[in-house]
Chain A
């Protein structure tokens, strides 16, 4: 089953206090911190596997 697609921005309903800031689009793509965390997550899940959801 394919993951459900993201709802298009025009239809988004954000909670109070949230707003869209387009300057954030891709802003943190190259941050080493997030890459390191992703790699660590991959290592852990490769080692222990996934739970039965």
Chain B
């Protein structure tokens, strides 16, 4: 990934990450967390903003800090770090809204060649997984490091 990205703090087990988005809307704390789900070796990628007053994480807010590419590049960097250390992990990701999922899809599409150098990537269509293709309206994604 060639885009500029933010500095990141990571938990010792490399499952939780924090960074700060800086822009016209001020400083927004972002959190990324990989949590294992019911399928062994599968992890959900959760990503959202931390409310400065409540401390709660949410991905329903639209920050508009003019740094979406930098933010996505930073999230992508955490994926590399996580999968560098959890070599057999498969990562599941989807947005809380269709718009959010579309944003992720566009980010993947714009960097697909780079991503596919290191990862297998699948998109979920109506009812089945398929290798990711550009311009297909997927509802979720699965990513795994190539062996």
Q: Do A and B originate from a single complex?
A: yes
- Residue among A21, A37, A49, A53 making CB contact with B9, cutoff 8 Å: A21
Q: Is the CB of B44 within 8 A of A28?
A: no
Instruction: Write out the residue numbers on chain B whose beta carbons fall within 8 Å of the beta carbon of A20.
Output: 9-12
B117 to chain A, nearest CB (A): 16
A-B pairs under 8 A by CB, number: 126
How many chain A residues touch the partner (CB < 8 A)?
37
**Cβ-closest chain A residue relative to B139:** A44
Q: How far is the CB of A40 from chain B (nearest CB, A)?
A: 7
Contact check, B14 vs A6: say whether CB atoms are below 8 A apart: yes
A1-53 residues with Cβ-Cβ distance < 8 A to B are: 1, 3-4, 6-7, 9, 12, 14-15, 17-22, 24-28, 31-34, 37-38, 40-42, 44-46, 48-51, 53
Nearest residue (CB) in B for A13 is B84
Is there an interface contact between B13 and A25, defined as CB atoms closer than 8 Å? yes
Tell me which residues across on chain B come within 8 A of A50, comparing CB atoms.
39, 129, 142
Q: Residues of B contacting A51 with CB < 8 Å?
A: 122, 128-130, 142
Contact in complex: B37, A41 (CB < 8 Å) = yes
- Identify the closest chain A residue to B122 (Cβ): A51
From A4, A27, A45, B87 is in contact (CB under 8 Å) with A4
Residues of A within 8 A of B124 (CB): 44, 48
Chain B residues, CB < 8 A from A38 = 35, 37, 44, 46
A53 touches B90 (CB 8 A): yes
| Known contacts A6-B86, A15-B77, A48-B129; is-contact A34 B57 (Cβ 8 Å) | yes
Query: CB of B106 within 8 A of chain A?
Result: no
Are B128 and A48 in contact, with the CB atoms below 8 A? Answer: yes
A interface with B by C-beta (< 8 Å):
1, 3-4, 6-7, 9, 12, 14-15, 17-22, 24-28, 31-34, 37-38, 40-42, 44-46, 48-51, 53
